[in-house]
């Protein structure tokens, strides 16, 4: 099982955005040193407690401050941005990180953000799919034209002019001696540069919260990443939809990762872990319930009893000593087929020193047991 870190990039009252970013950078450096496989950052807009509007900027900083971590977004909200600009920004991150980018993308589920950007919320899925298609064209084609329902490239492109040859089985040598260039002809469109290091493009993870999004990802050979906070039962239903779609598309499960985000905290014993993590984790879930994230991602209203500490420990969070945390993660691995666990350890309210200690203990003791 691969192990990574997930950052919701949240802050407590009185905490500045700069302090949050500095904590992310410091914990990323430690994760890189300890041998974690990956690090994923959430994106959020117009939320005072979640200063994370530009995930690519933070990822660029991490690209130059780490050497081994795979870096990803969970996920970049495509309908709210220019697909061409997204393709450019993330290609630069892949170059700066020497091919360590995982492109995590989402349709978005916050109506307020869509209203601010004057994007109809009802169109978010259609816009997401078209934007992703354009981004993949940008990464894999040389000069090209693209004309869709929502996006065109360059401006004024018509459907009859759309062209590109994608996914050549052999990487072309730089500087891409395509036929029109060798013949001295004028380009049929414009190139989007630079190209990513990874060929034909970085791995694409679809961050979603319902069965339709899971099936879309699986049918196209994309990894599906369920949202944070959801119960094990909800995660099981989403990943089952993903596996079913993979089978129906005659694809191989080995094409994709099977990741899951969990709140994880490990200490020398259960009592210590609970003493440190209980309050901050209950507050975290309380905020997620209050702002509607929990109900949206669970796909139903949340009953008050579901947010008791006993209920959270049995269905959502993984907290305890080494043996208990290892056992719980093995159960998740067996039941859901998870192969990449993203640990949300940096919960607001847990002191940085405690997070660092938990990260070290996790990699030294839990990770080694999970590989056995």
pLDDT tens for residues 288-327?
A: 999 899 999 999 999 989 999 999 999 999 999 999 999 9
Confidence of residue 168 (pLDDT cuts 50, 70, 90): very low
Between 15 and 277, whose confidence is greater?
Answer: 277
**Residue keyed to tokens 């420990």:** 313
CA angle 91/94/95 to nearest 5° reads 90
pLDDT at 184 over 70: no
Q: What is the CATH number of the domain that holds 141?
A: 3.20.20.30
How would residue 341 be classed by pLDDT, with cut points 50, 70 and 90? very high
Indicate whether 221 belongs to any domain.
yes
Chain segment 194-208, per-residue pLDDT in tens: 999 999 999 999 999
Neighbour-count burial of 118, counting CB atoms closer than 10 A to its CB (0-12 exposed, 13-18 middle, 19+ buried)? exposed
Where does the pLDDT of residue 34 fall: very low under 50, low under 70, confident under 90, or very high at 90 and above? very high
In a domain, 349, yes or no: no
Partners of residue 262 on adjacent β-strands: 343
Residue-level pLDDT at 177: 52
Number of domains into which the chain is organized: 1
Q: Is 238 exposed, middle or buried (0-12, 13-18, 19+ CB in 10 A)?
A: buried
Least Cα distance to 363 among 347, 346, 349, 343 occurs for 343
Asked if the structure places residue 367 within a domain, the reply is no
Q: Is residue 152 part of a domain?
A: yes
Expressed as residue numbers, the domain containing 195 is 2-265
Q: Is residue 256 within 8 Å of 246, Cβ to Cβ? A: yes
> Would you say residue 159 lies in a domain?
yes
């Amino acid at each position: 099982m691969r192990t990574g870190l997930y950052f919701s990039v949240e802050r407590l009252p009185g905490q500045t955005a700069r302090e949050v970013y500095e904590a992310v950078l410091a914990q990323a450096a430690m994760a890189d040193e300890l041998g974690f496989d990956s690090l994923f950052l959430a994106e959020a807009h117009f939320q005072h407690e979640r200063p994370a509007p530009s995930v690519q900027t933070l990822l660029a900083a991490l690209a130059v401050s780490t050497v081994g971590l795979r870096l990803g977004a969970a996920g970049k909200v495509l309908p709210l941005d220019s697909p061409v600009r997204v393709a450019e920004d993330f290609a630069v991150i892949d170059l700066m990180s020497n091919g360590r980018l995982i492109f995590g993308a989402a349709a978005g589920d916050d109506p307020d953000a869509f209203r601010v950007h004057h994007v109809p919320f009802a169109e978010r899925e259609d816009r997401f799919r078209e934007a992703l298609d354009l981004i993949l064209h940008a990464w894999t084609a040389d000069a090209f034209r693209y004309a869709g329902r929502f996006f065109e490239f360059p401006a004024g492109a018509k459907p009859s002019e759309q062209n590109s040859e994608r996914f050549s089985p052999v990487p072309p040598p730089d500087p891409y001696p395509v036929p029109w260039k060798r013949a001295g002809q004028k380009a049929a469109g414009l190139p989007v540069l630079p190209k990513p290091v990874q060929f034909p493009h970085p791995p694409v993870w679809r961050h979603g919260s319902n069965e339709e999004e899971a099936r879309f990802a699986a049918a196209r050979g994309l990894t599906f990443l369920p949202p944070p906070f959801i119960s094990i039962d909800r995660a099981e239903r989403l990943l089952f939809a993903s596996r079913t779609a993979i089978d129906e598309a005659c694809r191989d499960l080995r094409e994709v990762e099977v990741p899951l985000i969990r709140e994880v905290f490990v200490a020398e014993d259960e009592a210590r872990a609970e003493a440190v993590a209980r309050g901050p984790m209950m507050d975290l879930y309380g905020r997620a319930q209050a702002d509607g994230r929990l109900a949206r991602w669970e796909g139903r209203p949340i009953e008050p009893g579901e947010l008791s500490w006993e209920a959270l420990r049995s269905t959502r969070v993984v907290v305890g000593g080494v043996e208990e945390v290892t056992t719980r993660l093995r159960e998740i691995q067996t039941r859901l087929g998870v192969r990449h666990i993203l640990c949300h350890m940096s919960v607001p309210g847990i002191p940085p020193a405690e997070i660092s200690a938990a990260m070290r203990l996790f990699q030294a003791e839990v990770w080694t047991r999970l590989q056995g």
